[in-house]
Amino acid sequence: MLHKTRTRRRAAVLAGAAALGLLLTACSGSSGGGTGESSGGGGGDATLVAYTGQAGDYQINFNPFSPTRIGGLGTIYEPLFFLNKAEVGDPVPLLGTEQSWNEDGTVLTVTLREGVTWSDGEAFTADDVVFTFELLKSTPAINSIGFDADVAAVDDTHVTFTFGAPAFVKGPDVLNTPIVPEHLWKDVNPTEDVIEEPVGTGAYVLGDYKPQAFTYDANPDYWGGEPAVKHIRFLALSGNQAGADAIAAGTVDWQTGPIPDIQNTNKNFPSYDAYTQWQMQMVLATCSSAEMGCTGPQTDPAVRQALYYAIDRTQLNKLAFQETAGEMSPTFALTPSQDAFISDTVEEKTVPMTADPGKAAEILEAAGWQKGSDGIYAKDGERLSLTVEVVTGWTDYITALDAMASQAKAAGIDLQAAQSSWNEWTEKKTSGRFQLVIDSLGQGPAPDPYYLYNYYFSSASGAKVGETAGENFARYANPDVDAAIAELAKLPLDDSAARQQYFDTIQQAIVNEMPYIPVMTGGTTSIWNTAKFTGWPADDDLYAFPAVWSALDSAEIFKRLEPQG
């Protein structure tokens, strides 16, 4: 099935997140899209039915550079290489087959795969790669990776990326960027157009679409061979409870999100197994900068620090996350795998697991806050009352906020949750019209904290309130952090001695200022149908991060699965 690229214009400018491969961030790191129909019968043509946490109907958008895209990344639009966030390893060739740097890290050369066609039959060439990166460079709203190199086609199968300074760390971002077809996208406005009929090089093409569900169909002309799973159906349900009900009914084959008694999934549902990985770091993200237009008590770093100490994480893990969450470092280096990057100057290597309301009070009172007769602190006539935005249907996050509200009250902080649809939640987050947002920060394309710092703490991906931000939706701005991130970009990833001084600078600043209040590392748990499909990731073959909403990873998993007769 071939598809033209049909676009529809949206009024609002959309900011991209092309590098992350995390389509949408949601409950315990979940989000994404799906629609509700039962999976097909067994056999080689079985339909895999997936649910990502999508609450409410889909709004069609297959623009890979849009934060409100509902799909297409990896499955339809491929990057040059796949980088596995779950394990350290070499980049896996996709549209690229080889990649190498020159000695000083200023030129990255990529060899492209021959014989690849777009799903409309046009040939894929180096010109498409050059066009894609020039599009990023000329359109700041979608350039979330900060791409600033000169890109050139040496011939149809070789491309060079020339940077003005050593840029080893930028390689994974470049290799992980989705490539779009020049012959169609030359007429696309990448910040406003909604792609309704996407054309890509991937293993799947878009089949039918309805607001309640959409389907991918296997691409018979895929360069890697037509995948064994012929149809993938994404359901839009009403939230986590509906997803859990669908697992119980056997109408969903893969869900990444909570179900009751998740530790005994196979006992309760013999056709399913559960698998947990720890990658997504849960936060109470703040609109942190008054200079950028943020308003409210959360713009005071003392308030953020106090809320950090008010949280009883052991209780949260038990009540909201079925004890699947893990430790977290306030430096946002992923623990324990990235412990070597944590600065010796940071006193608390991991977040406190029990509440310390006394310390919270000490911090607030030192900053001039005084407790009122109602037990809640106030300053200059402003009561310490905060609203946290959460998506309706994200039951684990909603339960967590209920517990946090009680914990915060014991520390003199009034914490309230406000539920809204995913679209409303996303608009508030990207425009800065919020005080707090419960969310998860994802790892970058390689297991190194540089990428998370560059995405979420660099002022380059922030924006003033009312303007659309990139990943730095906290609108955090610190010139010392920006300078340290810029210096890290010049150093090879394996030069630990030279890099650590810059990690020290970043970590000292973000621990002290805490624009994202650390909660815990979410246990990302997938429940999948092992009776109907084999080839799922496992401890001894963790070939991709196993989350249905992690788009580039799930695209690799779809290609690996085999239906059972």
What is the DSSP annotation of 460-517? GG---TTSPP-S-TT----HHHHHHHHHHTTS-TT-HHHHHHHHHHHHHHHHHH-SEE
Give tens-digit pLDDT for 198-213.
999 999 999 999 999 9
Give tens-digit pLDDT for 428-486.
999 999 999 999 998 887 788 999 999 999 999 999 999 989 899 999 999 999 999 99
What is the DSSP annotation of 25-71? --GGG------------SSTTPEEEEE---BS-------TT-TT--S
**Residue 206 vs residues 132, 224, 232, 544: alpha-carbon distances, Å:** 21, 18, 10, 23
Lowest-confidence range among 5-9, 312-316, 328-332?
5-9
One domain for residues 552 and 516: no
Rounding to the nearest 10 degrees, give the CA dihedral for residues 344, 348, 350, 353: 170
One domain for residues 484 and 355: yes
Residues 307 and 330: their CA atoms lie apart, in Å, by 13
* pLDDT classification of 379: cutoffs 50, 70, 90: very high
**Residue 101 vs residues 112, 273, 492: alpha-carbon distances, Å:** 15, 42, 11
One domain for residues 377 and 433: yes
One domain for residues 493 and 551: no
Please check whether residue 414 lies inside any domain of the structure.
Answer: yes
**Residues comprising the chain, all counted:** 565
**Residue 434 vs residues 286, 414, 460: alpha-carbon distances, Å:** 8, 16, 20
One domain for residues 355 and 499: yes
Lowest-confidence range among 115-119, 301-305, 334-338, 544-548?
334-338
Please check whether residue 333 lies inside any domain of the structure.
Answer: yes
Please check whether residue 290 lies inside any domain of the structure.
Answer: yes
The three-class DSSP label of residue 111 is strand
One domain for residues 11 and 118: yes
For residue 492, what pLDDT is reported? 85
Lowest-confidence range among 35-44, 346-355, 547-556?
35-44
Please check whether residue 60 lies inside any domain of the structure.
Answer: yes
For residue 9, what pLDDT is reported? 44
One domain for residues 38 and 70: yes
The three-class DSSP label of residue 139 is coil
One domain for residues 318 and 193: no
For residue 210, what pLDDT is reported? 95
Instruction: Sort residue 198 into left (φ over 0), alpha (ψ -120 to 50) or beta.
Output: beta
For residue 13, what pLDDT is reported? 32
Name which of 437, 489, 423, 453 is nearest 57 in CA terms. 423
- Please give the backbone phi and psi of residue 234, each rounded to the nearest 5 degrees, phi first: -100, 130
One domain for residues 13 and 160: yes
One domain for residues 549 and 463: no
Please check whether residue 534 lies inside any domain of the structure.
Answer: no
**Residue 186 vs residues 116, 189, 552: alpha-carbon distances, Å:** 20, 8, 24
Please check whether residue 232 lies inside any domain of the structure.
Answer: no
Residues 43 and 150: their CA atoms lie apart, in Å, by 49
Lowest-confidence range among 49-63, 125-139, 329-343?
49-63
Query: How many domains does the chain contain in total?
Result: 2
Q: Tokens 């949280």 — which residue?
A: 311
Q: Is the pLDDT of residue 14 over 50?
A: no
Name which of 187, 232, 236, 241 is nearest 211 in CA terms. 236
One domain for residues 485 and 558: no
Cis geometry, peptide bond prior to residue 336 (ω within 30 degrees of 0): yes
One domain for residues 556 and 511: no
Residues 172 and 493: their CA atoms lie apart, in Å, by 11
Q: What share of the chain is helix, strand, coil (3-state, %, to 5)?
A: 30, 25, 50
Please check whether residue 255 lies inside any domain of the structure.
Answer: no
CATH of the domain at 164: 3.90.76.10
- 68 token code pair: 């409100």
Please check whether residue 44 lies inside any domain of the structure.
Answer: yes
CATH of the domain at 460: 3.10.105.10
Q: Can you tell me the mean pLDDT for 224-228? A: 97
Q: Is the pLDDT of residue 33 over 80?
A: no
Quote the domain boundaries for residue 111.
7-201+545-563
